[in-house]
Amino acid sequence: MKKAKVLIMLSFLFILCAVGLHFAAETVSAAGFALIAAQTAKDGILTLENGQKWYRVNRFEDNQSYIMTVKNAAGEQLMLAAADAAPQYIWSYYRSNMTTSTAPRISTLSSGRYTLTFTDGRLTVNDSHYSGGDSDWEYTDSALCYHGEGTVSYLKYNAGTGADFSFTGNKSDAAEIQLYTCGDILARCITQQPVAAAPVIEGSGYPAPVFTVGLSDVSVDSVKWFADGEAQSCTGLTYTADIFANQPVGVHTVSCLVEAHDESGLHYREKSADATFVIAKGVKPESIMTFSDIHEEYGQIGEAIAKVMQKTGGYIPALIVCTGDFVYGPTADKDTELSRYFPQIVSQLGGIDAVYVAGNHDSSEAASVMSANADLGAAKNLPLQGGLIFDGESQAVALNGKSSRNAESILVYGINFDAATKKNGDIVQYSYADIIGEVDSFLQSAASQYHGELVVISAHSGLHALGVQPESLNPMQIPIYAWVGENQYNVDMSYELAQTINRYAEQYNMDIMYIFGHDHSRNEAEMLLTDGDTLVSTKHYADKSTASQTLHFTYAHAGYLSSVIGCADFNFSFIYRDGDKFVFDLLNTSDDSVRHTEIRAKHPYEVPAATETSVSSGKAAVQTTTSAAVSAEKADAPKTGDHVYWILLVVPVAACLVFFLKRRAQNN
């Protein structure tokens, strides 16, 4: 990610040098701007004097360069430039994203040493004025607008008035701005990312996987498909990857590059997400892979799946639990996260079943929608704060014929970050007060019909007091400064929530794991506490009060599956049942390091008698209709539990045989 940004900046500097600035200014305004006549502008293509072509687009993209034009009275396009001896007309757009979720939205448009600035209703350059709050440039519907000081203002062109540029709150008075860019990426037109339907089993005779890309209303100029980075001959919107047929166990990627245009003269060039395609030996039974804080480094998901397969000899996790902070910067809105970010995540999952928990950078509503749509036992109207997102014993899981039916003995309860967020006007505080009762109700229900399930509570935020907990250390094993950060890292009533979970774990002998993330930006290394360890939790952040208790459940970080913020270092967790214990491995996608922990299982899992018939028949029905999907994994996976149904048949027959032989002996 860091290398990519360096390359982008170097490319920008190259463009500035290559283009040259040899145009004569038509006018110069008092605000320090020049308007420069473009060489040619036709069919959405702006051609500079040196022959370089720039393409008209419909929005800004982070870390790209742009030319902005306005029309004069004669209808000629004039390039907006910062006035100088050599006017600077190529503007670099940068959105501040390495910020907290509560930070204002800030973006910049800069050209050389000049920065475009909105000051007191005027367009200025080279002005460091900043009044706080949002300071965000946006290009939409051929208008340049500025979000700041609580309002939206549109750039207005006042040709020939001596004050060429001002701002208006009326969009109909806005100047018609045309935006041009060049480079490998122009603008987005992909509405459906390619994705593998499901993992397949090595040697099962599976059909070649099919990948499809969906586009907005555009005319396609070209489509290029790539398999494991190699260009393919397919030029359509659907690609059948025959290259992967009869391949050995492994993780592969498929992507495409689309070029297109529309009737209005807008141009598009976009690379799709890298869709993961998995060829496995089977599914590791009763297992989950979980990670947190991926922050748009979605390629790490496929890397993590490959690492699990390397560890297990070719078996994939039954379920993936994504524990928040999927994006950068200020908290994303629901529509943006659902349309732009989650499709990229789904592409990386390779068809393995997954559920989602929102972090502080995410829309909790979007995460709930994704978990509900996964249909793995979650309610269709899953609340904003979260709830039960996976029930391995549910009919939905038993009948879906995919990887998660191998996780029958697992329950996952998700706590979205908004569940701990309390807003009172402009004041935001963080407390578990509103979620404790919900967690209590869930655990009460789970305890009333407990059969030895592993109960996972996945929550982006933790339960310990940052820096007060003795294990709160940085990767160098140096203690974190006590109470570092804000209330969101030391959530009020953490002690009471931990106490609630502890009570059920102790009284009902339940195997419970509370798994979280979030603290990497405060440099805290991933910790793990188990039964018998001491947990120090916040009672009230305002007075720095804490209380401690002896744990009867497992408390651990999920692993920070990113590298760009704080101590995050490509870590994730792989958890599975192994006889009378659970294995909790913290793995790394960039090396072979592993933190291996074995946790004694308190209770063996027993298939609920009330659901044996329905679940058994459901699985059998699925296995006869999905030979190319993960249904075949059940036979290939070790100790999957399918043998239970043979035992249920054999035991009664054996008992009848013994009874018959005894009666025969008595008669003789």
The amino acid occupying position 537 is S
Assess whether pLDDT exceeds 60 at residue 638: no
Give strand ranges (E) for 214-304.
Answer: 214-215, 219-227, 230-231, 238-240, 250-261, 267-271, 275-280, 282-291
pLDDT of 21 reads 31
Confidence of residue 68 (pLDDT cuts 50, 70, 90): very high
Nearest to 230 by CA among 250, 253, 200: 253
Q: Is the pLDDT of residue 315 over 70?
A: yes
Reported as a pLDDT band with limits 50, 70 and 90, residue 285 is very high
Q: Which residues contact 172 (CB under 8 A, 6 or more apart)?
A: none
Q: What is the pLDDT of residues 9-61, one digit of tens each?
A: 434 333 333 333 333 333 334 357 888 887 788 899 999 888 899 999 999 99
The amino acid present at 223, given as its one-letter code, is V
| Amino acid sitting at position 270 | E
Give the tens place of pLDDT for each residue, 471-492: 999 999 999 999 998 899 999 9
pLDDT value at residue 27: 37
What is the average pLDDT across 435-459?
A: 97
217-241 pLDDT tens trace:
999 999 999 999 999 999 999 999 9
Tokens describing residue 211: 């990948």
Q: What is the pTM of this model?
A: 0.86
Task: Decide the pairing of beta strands 143-148 and 151-157.
Answer: antiparallel
Burial class (CB in 10 A: 0-12, 13-18, 19+), 122: middle
Mean pLDDT, range 306-323, rounded to an integer: 98
Confidence of residue 129 (pLDDT cuts 50, 70, 90): low
pLDDT at residue 402 tops 90: yes
Q: What is the number of alpha carbons within 13 Å of residue 284 lying toward its C-beta?
A: 22
Residue 393 has pLDDT above 80, yes or no: yes
Percent of the chain with pLDDT over 70: 85
Q: Indicate the pLDDT class of residue 652, thresholds 50, 70 and 90.
A: very low
Check pLDDT > 70 for residue 66.
yes
Average pLDDT over residues 289-308: 97
Average of per-residue pLDDT across 340-356: 98
pLDDT > 70? residue 634: no
Cβ-Cβ contacts under 8 Å for 658 (sequence gap 6 or more)? none
Q: What is the pLDDT of residues 455-476, one digit of tens each?
A: 999 999 999 999 999 999 999 9
Averaged pLDDT for residues 499-523: 97
Per-residue pLDDT reduced to its tens digit, 534-565: 999 999 999 999 999 999 999 999 999 999 89
Q: What's residue 283's pLDDT?
A: 98
C-alpha to C-alpha distance for 319 and 159, rounded to whole angstroms: 61
In this predicted model, what pLDDT tens digit does every residue of 77-118 receive, in sequence order? 899 998 776 788 999 999 988 888 988 999 999 998 889 988
Provide the residue count of the chain: 668
Q: State mean pLDDT over 324-340.
A: 95
- pLDDT grade, residue 264 (50/70/90)? very high
Banded pLDDT at 366 (limits 50, 70, 90): very high
The mean pLDDT of 149-177, rounded to a whole number, is 86
Q: Select from 420, 407, 425 the least CA-distant residue to 463.
A: 420
- Asked if 508 contacts 457 with a C-beta cutoff of 8 angstroms, the reply is no
The model's confidence at residue 123, banded by pLDDT at 50, 70 and 90, is confident
Q: What pLDDT, on the 0 to 100 scale, is given for residue 86?
A: 76
Predicted confidence at residue 125, as pLDDT, reads 83
Q: What is the pLDDT of residue 439?
A: 98
Q: What percent of the chain stands above pLDDT 90?
A: 72
pLDDT tens track for 577-593: 999 999 999 999 999 99
Q: Does position 625 have pLDDT exceeding 60, yes or no?
A: no
Residues 548, 546: Cα–Cα separation, whole Å: 7
HEC readout, 600-666 = ECCCCCCCCHHHHHHHHHHHHHHHCCCCCCHHHHHHHCCCCCCHHHHHHHHHHHHHHHHHHHHHHHH
Q: Select the more confidently predicted residue: 124 or 614.
A: 124
Mean pLDDT (the chain) is: 86
**Cα torsion for 234, 235, 240, 246, to the nearest 10°?**
20
State pLDDT tens for residues 265-284: 999 999 999 999 999 999 99
- Per-residue CA distances from 361 to 330, 557, 632 (Å): 6, 18, 38
Residue-wise pLDDT tens digits, 176-211: 999 999 989 999 999 999 999 999 999 999 999 999
Q: Which domains does the chain show, CATH number per domain?
A: 2-181 (no CATH), 188-280 (2.60.40.10), 284-609 (3.60.21.10)
Contact 339, 304 (CB under 8 A): no
